[in-house]
Amino acid sequence: MKIKHVLAIIPTGFLSKTHSGMHVGNLAAAILRSITPQDIKIKLVDENLGCKIDFDSDADLVILLSVITSAAPKAYRIAKIFKNKGKIVGMGGPHPSVAPKEALEFCDFVGIGEMEGYWPNILKDVEKGKLKKIYENKEPVNLDGLPYPDRGILENMKKRGHKHNYLTTQIMYTTRGCPYGCAFCTVSNIYGKKYRTRPVKAVIDDILKHNGRKLNFAFFIDDNIWAVPSYAKELFREMIKNKVRLKWLSQASLTQAMDPELLKLAKKAGCSALYIGFESVNPESLKETNKGFNKPEEFIKKADAIRRAGIPIVGSFVFGFDSDTPESIKDTVEFAIKSSDFAQFCILTPFYNTVLYDRLKKENRILIPGEGGGEFHDNWNYYTFGNVVFKPKNMSPEKLKQLQGDAFKKFYDFKPLIRRMVNGLRCYPFIMPIIVGFGLFTRANDTQGGFSPKKVIEENIKSWEKEYGYLLKKN
């Protein structure tokens, strides 16, 4: 069959009915557009921006993109509805990549990992009527020579039936892969354990030629933008040389924080904030998750070096390691207040096919097994960083959840938040609206019982099925 129309859907989970314009553009959708022949129409629906799915679409092919674990049960429902209507349905993203057999219960094919390597083959196989069940790359994709992501598909979403536009459509990448293999992380499983760098010229051209010099805010989705210091320095120098007047955010580790030249170049190249995974100040917790190379006694010194360079820190912290106690978690919160301009506090979540999930399952400590939950594997709904889905070692699940709520309350108390605003407006005004917005958002969620309350998820499932449940029944 000749493919004329692809419907690409980015599903949300059942955590909330709300949507907003505080979402950045989806790079997978931009890549999809760039590697699909231009004579094939692609309609993008991103539920994060508030858009209802047209289940009567005339699309020849439906693809669910960027399916994270907590969104999988909803994605499975959407896939089943389109399958009932005779559509060819595929799925990609973090969860289908680590649980392809499960996803195939609801769709025709699963794409594992980086789509640049296999998407053209999917299109050919559909047209030949020889579609395979699983598509994956034998080797990690070579980043040299890839087409530039076509971000036009992300523009003006309000004019395309959505209630919001993206906060920014300028989603970039310079590297892929991560060698660390943290026990709770899926990045290495999907992108490999070796850093791959995109040619610096390709990054600069992508910014200048495909986004114009008026570009002012971007997000580099790298897991560690300065993982290869020599490459990062070359990139930042070229950004400065080419007068890329760009404010950008990214993720980084502390490993290069004491390199003043790197920090100076990053700041001059437009770095406006770095998301840093401290995880914990408990050394035993860091060893447990394979991040023993991070030394808590050096955290403050390194965080101060980054902030002195004029780069604010978004600190990420995880509660629930076997070495964690209520006291060590409180110590971590105190450190967060000293080290970070704003912070995210997550409950340790054992995602499928990670070292952590396999260990806790073997120890019979998984309280909400992801593989369970009925026809649509609804237990995955609770794998959100906000629900305790396993039995902690040194406290009850209820206590762990309470400590997460307490952490958000203490960090985003109004007085510290105002102090952060005053300091931030002086040092880095660009990022302040995001800091304040995130702080108010977290406080609002905490007053409703904390992030990801099970009751809210269950109510939202019932509400969705009341509206669309009849479509799940095959005619």
Q: Which pLDDT does position 442 carry in this prediction? A: 57
Q: Confidence band (pLDDT; 50, 70, 90) for 31?
A: very high
Q: Which pLDDT does position 212 carry in this prediction? A: 47
pTM for the whole thing?
0.92
Q: Angle 400-14-103 (CA atoms, 0-180°, nearest 5)?
A: 100
Q: Which pLDDT does position 377 carry in this prediction? A: 95
Residues 5-141: name the CATH superfamily.
Cobalamin-binding domain (3.40.50.280)
What is the DSSP secondary structure assignment for residue 154, as one 8-state letter? Answer: G
Distance separating alpha carbons of residues 135 and 121, to the nearest angstrom: 8
Q: In the predicted model, what is the mean pLDDT of residues 40-62? A: 95
Q: Angle 272-273-278 (CA atoms, 0-180°, nearest 5)?
A: 165
| pLDDT surpassing 90 at residue 6 | yes
Is 73 in contact with 17 (CB distance < 8 Å)?
no
As a whole-number percent, the residues of the chain with pLDDT over 90 amount to: 65
Among 167, 239, 229, 227, residue whose Cα is nearest residue 201:
239
Q: In the predicted model, what is the mean pLDDT of residues 340-365? A: 92
For 20, the token pair is 């907003």
Q: In the predicted model, what is the mean pLDDT of residues 411-415? A: 81
Report how far apart the first and last C-alpha atoms of the chain are (Å, whole number). 24
Q: Averaging pLDDT over each range in 154-163, 281-290, 298-307, which range is the top one?
A: 298-307
Is 271 in contact with 248 (CB distance < 8 Å)?
yes
What is the DSSP secondary structure assignment for residue 149, as one 8-state letter? Answer: P
Distance separating alpha carbons of residues 43 and 53, to the nearest angstrom: 11
| pLDDT surpassing 50 at residue 449 | no
Is 290 in contact with 258 (CB distance < 8 Å)?
no
Q: What is the largest CA-CA distance in the chain?
A: 65
* DSSP annotation string for 286-313: HHHTT-TTS-HHHHHHHHHHHHHTT--E
Is 154 in contact with 169 (CB distance < 8 Å)?
yes
Provide the CA 250 distance to its chain's centre, in angstroms.
12
Q: Which pLDDT does position 437 carry in this prediction? A: 60
What is the DSSP secondary structure assignment for residue 126, as one 8-state letter? Answer: H
Q: Confidence band (pLDDT; 50, 70, 90) for 447?
A: very low
Q: Which pLDDT does position 32 carry in this prediction? A: 98
Give the E-state strand segments of 109-255 in sequence order.
Answer: 109-112, 134-136, 171-172, 175-176, 196-197, 217-220, 247-252
Sequence-ordered list of residues with C-beta below 8 angstroms from that of 420, at least 6 positions apart, any chain: 341, 342, 435, 439
Q: In the predicted model, what is the mean pLDDT of residues 69-92? A: 97
Q: Which pLDDT does position 106 carry in this prediction? A: 97
CATH 3.80.30.20 fits 151-454, yes or no: yes
Distance separating alpha carbons of residues 423 and 252, to the nearest angstrom: 23
Distance separating alpha carbons of residues 138 and 143, to the nearest angstrom: 15
| pLDDT surpassing 60 at residue 231 | yes
Among 65, 7, 89, 88, residue whose Cα is nearest residue 40:
7
Domain boundaries, given as residue ranges, for the chain: 5-141, 151-454
From the CB of residue 250, how many other CB atoms can be counted at a distance below 10 Å?
23
> 167 or 437: whose pLDDT is higher?
167
Distance separating alpha carbons of residues 21 and 13, to the nearest angstrom: 17
Please give the single-letter amino acid code of residue 446.
D
For the range 110-116, what are the long-range contacts, defined as Cβ-Cβ under 8 Å and sequence gap of 24 or more?
Answer: 110/134, 110/135, 111/135, 111/136, 112/136, 112/137, 112/190, 113/137, 113/140, 113/190, 113/191, 114/140, 114/141, 114/176, 114/191, 115/28, 115/31, 115/32, 115/35, 116/31, 116/35, 116/141, 116/146
- Integer CA distances (angstroms), 325 to 365, 403, 451, in order: 17, 10, 21
Q: In the predicted model, what is the mean pLDDT of residues 427-445? A: 57
* H-type alpha helices, 242-378: 260-268, 283-288, 296-308, 326-339, 355-362
pLDDT tens digits, one per residue of 131-183: 999 999 988 899 999 999 999 999 989 888 898 888 888 899 999 987 776 76
Q: In the predicted model, what is the mean pLDDT of residues 56-62? A: 97
| pLDDT surpassing 80 at residue 439 | no
Q: Which pLDDT does position 114 carry in this prediction? A: 93
Q: In the predicted model, what is the mean pLDDT of residues 416-439? A: 60
Among 65, 133, 144, residue whose Cα is nearest residue 104:
133
Q: Which pLDDT does position 213 carry in this prediction? A: 41
Q: Which pLDDT does position 41 carry in this prediction? A: 97
Is 306 in contact with 272 (CB distance < 8 Å)?
no
Q: In the predicted model, what is the mean pLDDT of residues 77-89? A: 97
Give the lowest-confidence range in 328-332, 373-377, 441-445, 461-465. 441-445
| pLDDT surpassing 90 at residue 229 | yes
